[in-house]
Structure 1
């Protein structure tokens, strides 16, 4: 991958939307799963209780996972069988990038699995391409705002499909596609 298109370069696709409930978060995840391919990495971030595991449950259901999906906070990693196998990790309890590297996080990025990582932003430099989803409390405790950043050519090619999902399951806040630095406010 070109250095200009790395997760740390600022060159990324950005989409933002509002989801009205936990059910809409799961539905969004379920639909997002239809876009996923073996080898995809999704980094989930947000405050405690924001909905990272709820989104992971929707993605898992969309991948055909029949087991109950719970937060892997205390076990660090859970694996599930589906139409594409799913690895669900949680880096919350790790305190440094050194600990993440010692964990062998690179081994998670197997080309046969979809990998979801809650609290995954510290691992962003370890992946060539990923979809980062930030979840924040929206207006009221039930609503959530999500911000999607697509890093890497494979995700940028799917931006139209990502926009279509947001329109179907969420209220888009902005559908600007391009360099995130152009959308930042100083």
Structure 2
């Protein structure tokens, strides 16, 4: 039978050790916190193509408000969407593909046109190429949808980190 006292002491020690580690919640304050407020003031500029439409929707879902035209910040995104064949069958047909989605994005303060964040994000996915052309196209489209969500999450996480580092002074250009 285990004695509860040693477990209690170990748990208390671990809890006290974590309180001084310096970790702070990114979205402290919930929807009314500094980070959520800053992100809701970001408008997503139109992005070209099908991948752009998917990416813009994913970003708008994650950022919340700011889409009414009165946003203080604008997010400009340029996408590079590629599909590359990897494996080849004996008849020279491709057996596996790699879909790569890369985004270069800039967060722009619309009052001063200053670029606050200039970065890239990206992800890739493997696709099995089967004998059915319909199934392969469906797999490519599904991969693009998943990649759009992954890259949008990466972009929003970077913007949230930036907003957290600038909380209290609004989002200002990073100092060199």
Q: Same fold (TM over 0.5)?
A: no
Structure number, greater radius of gyration: 2
Question: Could you say which structure has the higher helix fraction?
Answer: 2
State the TM-score, normalized to the length of structure 1: 0.28
TM-score (ref. length: structure 2): 0.30
